[in-house]
Amino acid sequence: MTSKRAPSHDAALARAASYGAVYRQKDRPLHPTASAKELRRAFCRPLPEEPTDGEGVIEALIAAAEPGLVGNTDPSFYAWVMGASDPVGVAADWLTSIWGQNAGIYQTAPAAAIAEEAVSSWLLELLDLPRESSVGFVTGATMAAFVGLAAARSSVLHRVGYDVDRLGLQGAPLVRVYASDDAHATNYAALRYLGFGETNITRIPSDERGLMRSDDLAAAMDRADGPSIVIAQAGHINSGAYEDLPAIVRIAKSHGAWVHVDGAFGLWARVLPEKADITQGADLADSWSVDGHKWLQLPYDSGFAIVRDSLSHRRAMDISAGYLNQVEGDGRNPTEYNPELSRRARGFAAWAVFQAMGRNGVRDLVRGHCDAAVHLESLLAEVPGLNLACSVVLNQLVLECGTADRADAMEHALNDRGIFARTADWKGRRVLRLSIISQRTDFGHIERLAGEIRQAWSNVHHG
């Protein structure tokens, strides 16, 4: 039997590189220009019988995808906390794909493993978290919460003499989990993945900023006993506010509970000395989830699961097998800290962005967005009928427009004027939420945004 030789794909690599080099230098639509039907027509074509020229495939992919792309790397993108994929990180991410390393264990990708060692050290230093903590490189904050809460589940059950690794969850003591009723949905998803149901979860009523009150937590924990976990927020998705972490940790520890901090984007505020009054106490927790693709501007597939007790971390995550070799002198085995064996070498892009930004670059980025949010707050403070739902804490603003129809009208008006914005249903009302997160967004963009909001509101309010 003879086999056909696959076509060379060198030209495909060259075409992707040349396209990527100029992609962000051109003005592009913020919103998709194709409908779902049109995108299906472009993508859902018959599978060819024979190999196809690689450069032609890349051209076809660009043509199919561009009409359906969203401008979330644009400085006028304010809808969600997403980040803008730093070009240095993107370049390192290209190399990650070119090198094709499987970063499961040290033996399969030594450079990737040591890059993760370096990034782990820098991350703990920047966020001022316990230096003995271990770090898992995961897809994002959802899986970071999964890892942290898996370590928590294992640890609190071991504390009461139950070996969940041997006995499983059937018959295990009831683990109680306490969290704000307005905690991010990914935390509740992670709990579900770990086998926790509504019976396990006590939802603490939240205040106007979406935060649980420490007194309410204390009262709830006083009514129960047994193994327990507390999920605290460092940067609410709408208000950007921190919960009272010193008080929450003190209450939790008095009940022998594990504290996990959801710091998907807000934990980065710990790099700013001027934010110490709100970020204090985060270092007292047991585990933390944080995203790299948000404030750090890493390409996607870049979350960090940080656990103070490395033994609990490894006990919850380790994948061992006779063929997964490790010898004395090897670096860390990444698979001990995340739930995957075959995976992307996530440390390369993180290493590159940390090196490119430096300590002061990270601080300047976070500070710039926080200052921009305060500036926008001041520019909108005197607009009649348009109210801030809560004071600015970090980089988030929530605007109340009076009615759901007006909020929707504001969203549409801003989108028509070259601003990418979205509404949210929060606390029984529809609001316009704005996230300042792109590294390319400066005060000029903020002043333009304020002007567009004032003009749109004038039309909506008096129309």
Domains and CATH numbers, the chain: 91-352 (3.40.640.10)
Q: 423 near 399, Cβ under 8 Å?
A: no
At residue 462, the pLDDT reads 73
Would you state the pLDDT for residue 5? 52
| Amino acid identity for residue 375 in this structure | H
CA dist 247 and 309 (Å) reads 21
Give the strand order in the sheet containing 429-435.
Answer: 387-388, 396-400, 429-435, 422-426
- Residue located via tokens 């006590």: 202
The tens digit of pLDDT for each residue in 395-454 reads 999 999 999 999 999 999 999 999 999 999 999 999 999 999 999 999 999 999 999 999
Q: What Cα–Cα distance (Å) separates residue 210 from each residue in 183, 266, 421, 425, 448?
A: 7, 14, 21, 13, 29
Location of structure tokens 């897809």: 139
pLDDT at 8 (0 to 100): 67
> CA quadruple 244, 249, 252, 255: dihedral positive or negative?
negative
The pLDDT of residue 24 is: 84
Residue 3 has a pLDDT of 53
Structure confidence at residue 325 (pLDDT): 79
The pLDDT score that the predictor gives to residue 266 is: 96
Question: In terms of Cα–Cα distance, which of 346, 375, 356 is closest to 449?
Answer: 375
Could you tell me the CA-to-CA distances from 43 to 9, 17, 51, 362 in Å, in that order?
21, 22, 17, 39
- 3-state class of 180 per DSSP? strand
State the pLDDT at residue 302. 94
SS3 95: helix
pLDDT at 327: 84
Residue numbers of the chain with a pLDDT score lower than 50: 1
Residue owning tokens 């019988």? 49
Report helix angle 185-193 to 141-159, nearest 10: 50
Q: What pLDDT, on a 0 to 100 scale, did the predictor assign at position 4?
A: 57
The amino acid that residue 37 corresponds to is: K
**Strands 134-138 and 303-307, bridge-based pairing:** antiparallel
pLDDT on residue 292: 95
Query: From CA 398, how far away is CA 390, in angstroms rounded?
Result: 7
Nearest one of 298, 267, 77 to 184, comparing CA atoms: 267
